[in-house]
Amino acid sequence: MEDAQITPGNGPAAAGSQPLSPAPAGSGAVSPQPGPGPKPASAPMQPHVPPVPGGAAADPSGSASAEEPGGRTSIAEQAVAKVAAIAARAVPGVHTLGTGAGRTLGAVRDAVAGSDSSATAGVNVEVGETEAAVDITLVADYGIPLTGLADSVRSAVYAAVEDLVGLNVVEVNVSVADVHVPEALDPRAAKRPAGGQD
């Protein structure tokens, strides 16, 4: 039987095929010294991240922190009603909001209580956590198509409440309570005497 001949580089203990481990202490074997080859990889360096104002540390990966500032937002019905009233008044063809009796009662209440209910006259809102419903009563100018006016008011109120308040508007109900007739077209104005008594 022939003896197997082992040459450097083609056996199981060939250099580079398996990592060399240091010999146990006291065995008399000499551990190999690192040669001129590549240096072992070290842990990657983390970039310096400056502190974020407010005390929270930024994520070194560059992604924003998943935590949002906590707290609860509550929006009063009066605030939503004012936004809706301003949007409705801005529509061409809306003479005023509310009915005549409602405006008179609101003016008396404002004078006595010092409140500002005339700003929201003719507007009634119901506000939930994320949704709102708006009812608007208005007086239209004579000569304006009433259904087209109601659609324009509805669109304006939807946009204003959703954009400025941030609530989802479920519905906007528009009631046209009256039509304002200019004095030139009012038949009652023609019956009045033009001058004083003779």
Mean pLDDT along residues 155-174: 95
DSSP state of 198: -
What is the phi/psi pair of residue 4, to 5°? -75, 135
The backbone torsions φ and ψ at residue 153, rounded to the nearest 5 degrees and listed phi first, read: -65, -45
Residue 198 confidence (pLDDT): 47
| pLDDT tens-digit series, residues 64-114 | 556 778 888 889 999 999 999 999 999 999 999 998 654 454 445 545 555
Per DSSP, the residues of 41-90 read P-PPPPPP-PPPTTSPPPPTTSPPPS----------HHHHHHHHHHHHHT
Among 141, 133, 163, smallest CA distance to 91 is for: 141
Angle between helices 77-89 and 146-160 (to 10 degrees): 140
Strand pairing category for 94-97 and 131-141: antiparallel
pLDDT tens profile 7-52 = 555 555 444 555 555 555 555 555 555 555 555 555 555 656 555 5
| Residue with the larger pLDDT of the pair 178 and 182 | 178
How far is 186 from 142, CA to CA, in rounded Å?
11
Q: Which helix (H) or strand (E) holds 135?
A: strand 131-141
Structure tokens at 60: 């070194």
Q: Quote the mean pLDDT of the chain.
A: 74
CA dihedral sign of residues 101, 103, 106, 111: negative
- CA-CA distance, 86 to 93, in Å (whole number)? 14
Let me know: does 126 contact 133? Beta carbons within 8 Å: yes
Euclidean distance between CA atoms 20 and 6, whole angstroms: 18
pLDDT in tens, 107-151: 455 455 555 557 889 999 999 989 999 999 999 999 999 999 999
